[in-house]
Amino acid sequence: MKFCVCIKQVPDVAANVQTGRMVLNAYDASAVEAALALTEAHGGEVHLVLIGPDMAKETIRKALAMGAHEATHLVTTAALDSHAVSRLLAAHFSEAEYDVILTGKQSQDTDAGLAGGMLAEHLGCAYATNAVGLDLEGDSTVVVTRQGDAGQEILALQAPCLVTCSNDMNDPRIPSLKGIMASKKKPLHEREVTPEAGRTELHSTYAPPGREPGIKIEGEPTEQAGELVRLLQDEAGVL
């Protein structure tokens, strides 16, 4: 079975936004791990697809180092919303072979969570969202455990299909030195693309405001407790 995993390079949300450090989207990393685990258990291949600028090659190589077999880089420097991303991916998959498309359920930079569903609609294939577990039955059935609003649901999808993955489904592997060295020799296909106009306008980005410093209460424990109660009651208004 051929798994195609759509990945994205995003700002590192664990670091200060001003550093400009870019990483593999955490939800996409879980999708890559799920595809690798299934191919290791049942056979098949894992292909990656990334839309982004030339600097995103570092992220592609990391996912290849995890164990994916090859990758396609759709090169563009344009700022893309979910509509534009889904249209570019739909054009790519209209000419590519696949059995199962996996994506993260959302990306860490916008948290929109729209591209996967839009892509499934463009391709006219069955899809499931927010997967926390994946398995295969037979040659063409994908069993999806998804987290719903009222509990978990289990769905059986016939390939070709699309699944968006939660980062709660697994712990993505850390690439080994052997994997990193091997990734440099794996096929990485590149082609420039011209996206359609998006439906969203981005006016500005900025770092969240800094936190005000906390208050240190001096004195003996009984005095500290009394002052804390006074502050919560008189200033914070929570008592």
Contact 100, 76 (CB under 8 A): no
pLDDT at 17 over 70: no
pTM above threshold 0.95: no
The total number of structural domains that make up the chain? 2
Q: Which domain holds residue 183?
A: 2-192
Residue 238: enclosing H or E segment and its boundaries?
none
Contact 14, 110 (CB under 8 A): no
Q: Count the alpha carbons within 13 Å of 128 in the hemisphere toward its beta carbon.
A: 25
Judgement on whether residues 237 and 177 belong to the same structural domain of the protein = no
Judgement on whether residues 36 and 97 belong to the same structural domain of the protein = yes
pLDDT at 239 over 80: no
138 conformational bin, left if phi > 0, alpha if psi -120 to 50, beta if neither: left
Judgement on whether residues 75 and 141 belong to the same structural domain of the protein = yes
Judgement on whether residues 136 and 239 belong to the same structural domain of the protein = no
Handedness of CA 121, 122, 127, 133 (dihedral sign): negative
Judgement on whether residues 187 and 79 belong to the same structural domain of the protein = yes
pLDDT one-digit tens code per residue, 110-141: 899 999 999 999 999 999 999 999 999 988 99
pLDDT one-digit tens code per residue, 202-237: 888 777 787 888 888 999 999 999 999 998 898 888
Judgement on whether residues 178 and 218 belong to the same structural domain of the protein = no
